[in-house]
Structure formats: structure tokens, C-alpha cells
Structure 1
């Protein structure tokens, strides 16, 4: 069985050696110690997941994520960083990272996170060819697409997963913890902030649909109401 391909970007020589040595027991790892070089590698190779430091020469991790997301909205990205400020973590997630581990990190936790995201990406074919009717919209999960009339809205993979989760549980309460664990594999504060951003975007999309709404259930979660 072919190993999944990981782009690992870290300029600390000792840390990079130790981490890459462990990752290579499970994955096909390409290491770079330079941000600009890393992005060029990404553009010219077919990776399954990226693991990025933030403070890098020539192009920092935030810039790399922004550039990657312009080309590929689905590939999982994990930050590994010594930057511990809440604002840095939130910024990293808003730019499009899937997770943010603070140094020093557990190699076992990193490998587990990688496996979770790789398994989730593999499942997102998205596991069904079924389309959904949502008011005047047609939702095509397989194509990450919402259509109404001549209008087309392209969703990210995570937005697609969230909307499909709501639809599969329409008119029922979805606990916040279940949503967070389905989308991120954890229910921490930073994932919760990202979830709120996604919920807000879905609400804006459906704001003119009088029979479709996402309700807050205080201290519990959310409910997609379709009347």
C-alpha cells in the first residue's frame, strides 16, 4: 500500500530531523526548511497533507497557507508553532489551517491528528452521490456546490461536511461537541470559533429562504429548521 505524501516544513534542523524521522515510519515525507521552496514543492507535487511551521525564511507559514488555499481548498493543513498567543492560533485557523499544535508537541498526537485528517479526506468523496433540496437551493455535496437558478456557490470541504451533517439531522438538535469532533476531531475553543464563522456564512447564504434557518440552542448546539 502506498504511503500518504506529507509536506513537512520546519527550519529548526534538530526538530525537523526528529519529527521527520518519526513521520517517515508512517508516511512519505518531503521536508523543506524554507517557506518559498516549500510552496514551490507544493505547486509541483501531489501531497495529501501539509505540516507547517510559521516562522520560516522567505515566506512564513501564514503566507504559505494563504497561497495554498488559493490553489487547493481541501488539502488538510496542520500548523506546528512556538507562537502561543490566542490571536496567532485564531489567525492560522481563519486563514485555512485545520489544526494548530503548539511546540513542544507530542509526536504521537501529531501522528494521530495526521491520520484523522487523512482518513476524513479519503472519506469525503463525500460518501454519497445524493443531492439535497434546501428551499430554492440544490446542494451537491460531491461537488461542494450550492445552486439556485443561475447562481452557483462553491463551498469549502469543511463547509460541505457541516451542511451535510445539518441536512442528515434536519429539524433535530445537533450538539456543538458532535459538530466540532466531526469537523476538527476536537472540541476546543479555537475550533469553536471557526465553527461560529462557518455557521455565520451558511446563515448568510440562506438568509432569504423563509423556510430555512439555523437556530442556536443555548448551551447545547444548533438545529437546522426546514419547513
Structure 2
């Protein structure tokens, strides 16, 4: 049975969602605000986090930022009435995996939760902790690049994207696969967001001219080192 940490400050909505998920076979832990949610995350280690964005004491974006400091794998879904592009992109940059606009269908919420749980990665044993990319050292666990003593901090999504590019260096990383893994779907909007992140990575790596991230039109990207 998968455990869902639901963080929702509206009591009525929280009760409805919690009861609906339990009926569908989930174990649900309900927190009323971000601070309480962060404490419960550390205590119960849930399989997925479903969090409102606008909450007292600590909002959902701040919660995600704190979680991603020590956990990069547990899926985070935002429930939000804010659907402007900047808000959605910010949520993804902070490590969110999906978002659902209020008001939402409970059936759609369950489908999205199942989809995120299926994509939850399994940690590889004895994986290298730091990678050498040209003149840079890349530490995915700490989400940073190091060049000649200078640190460049990455967002969670930048780090995950760079890790995938490095693992398939000098080969094509398929665009649709990345969108499904990191954004949850391959819609046009998410495709534009991916393009933005590729541009950001190019800027981070620009001090080593031997490194290139090239577009393979209609297919994906290739990291050349």
C-alpha cells in the first residue's frame, strides 16, 4: 500500500481528498500546513507528496525546496489555483513533478498519483557520486557544478536533466522521454519549459568551450564532451 502525504490547509477539501484516496487503497497522512508537512515527511517517508501551493506558515514551493535538499526521488505534486506560466515553471524548478489545477477531479488526481508512482526511480547501487564533465565536476546529490574552485548551484530539475545528458553523453537523449520522466507529459508547454532548461545548462557550462549541448531536430539533445 502506497503512502500519500497530503498537505492541504482547507479542512473540508483535505477530508474529501483523504477519504477518497483511502477508499482507493492508499494510506494517507494529512498535514494542515507546510511546516507540519515537512515534519511528517521526515517522520513517515511517504511514497508521494501531494501539496497545496498557497498555505500558511510555509507554502508548497518552500516545502518542495526543503524536501529537495535531502531527497531528490520522492514525487511531489502541487495542487494549485495558480496556473500562470511563471508559477508552474517555478514549481518544476523547485523539484515538483506534476501539478493539478483547482478545482480538480478526484479520478484525475488518482490517475496522476499512480503515474508518478510508476515513474519513481530506483536508486542504483554503487553509483558514482561525482562526475567529470570536461573541466567541470558535477555533483548531482548536492546539485552543483564545480569549476576551478567556483561552485554553480543548480535547481533540482537542472541537475536531473544534466545527469541524464551525462549518462547518455555523445548519444541522443530523446526529448519525449525526458518530458515524460521529469515533467509528467510531453505537452507543448512542457516542451517549451524543457528548452528553457537546456538554455540554462548551456550557460552554466559555457566556461568550457569543449562542452556542447546540441539540438537534434525533432528528436532530442546530445551532450558532447
Common topology (TM > 0.5): yes
Segments of structure 2 that go 5 or more residues without pairing to the other structure are none
Distance 2:56 2:163 in 1: 40
Which 10-residue stretch deviates more, 104-113 or 150-159? 150-159
Residues 1:110 and 2:137 are matched in the alignment? no
SS of the residue corresponding to residue 222 of structure 2 reads: strand
Deviations 1:126-163 (A, max 9, x none): 47847866434566778978777878878776545433
Partner of 2:210: 211
Number of corresponding residues: 223
Partner of 2:47: 48
Please report the RMSD computed on the Cα atoms of aligned residues, expressed in angstroms.
3.5
CA 1:72 to 1:86, structure 2 compared with 1: closer, same or farther past 3 Å?
A: same
1:187-215 deviation digits (Å, cap 9, x = unpaired)? 23553354235423432443233432101
1:111 CA drift (Å):
2.5
Structure 1 alignment gaps of length 5 or more: none
TM-score, length-scaled by structure 2: 0.75
Would the alpha carbon gap of residues 59 and 157 (structure 1) be closer, same or farther in structure 2, given more than 3 Å must change?
A: closer
Q: Separation in 2 of the partners of 1:87 and 1:65?
A: 16
Q: Residues 10 and 16 of structure 1 are in contact (CA less than 8 Å); yes or no, is this contact kept in structure 2?
A: yes
Structure 2 residue matching 1:100: 3-state secondary structure: strand
2:11 to 10, 13, 20: 13
CA–CA distance in 2 between the matches of 1:59 and 1:142? 24
| TM norm structure 1 | 0.74
| 1:166 match | 165
Deviations 1:30-68 (A, max 9, x none): 012233322332344322321011222333323322333
Q: Secondary structure at the match of 2:223?
A: strand
1:75 equivalent to 2:74? Answer yes
Q: 1:88 to 1:159 in 2, by over 3 A?
A: closer
**For the Cα contact (< 8 Å) 1:129–1:142, is it kept in 2?**
no
Equivalences for residues 135-146 of structure 1 within 5 A: 135-136=134-135
